Amino acid sequence: MKQADGLQQIKTGQLNPGHRSLWYETRLWRQHRTRLASKRRASAVEERRVRLQKSAAWANTVQFTSAAKELFSAVSY
């Protein structure tokens, strides 16, 4: 039980008053890192989605132009 009390003191910053505890700092840092990672993942997903949309639009354009060419070539003869 003694060790648990010590840990509680470290967490609350009673052992070194005036300084945030190392435990608290590492917790904050870890939260910060995970937040950054999730943002990075979200932006990567968004980038991929936009890229896919663009390529799909380009493919549609290509298909449309080839279909239009076929249509016009059929009309002209």
**Cα–Cα distance for residue pair 47/26, rounded to 1 Å:** 31
Identity of residue 9 = Q
What angle in degrees, to the nearest 10, is found between the helix axes of 2-12 and 22-76?
60
For the stretch 39-58, pLDDT in tens is 999 999 999 999 988 888 88
Contacts of 24 (CB under 8 A, 6+ apart): 11, 13
Total domains, the chain: 1
Q: Which parts of the chain fold into alpha helices (H)?
A: 2-12, 22-76
Identify the domain containing residue 15 by its residue range: 2-76
Task: Report if pTM > 0.85.
Answer: no
1-42 pLDDT, tens per residue? 566 676 677 666 666 666 677 778 888 899 999 999 999 999
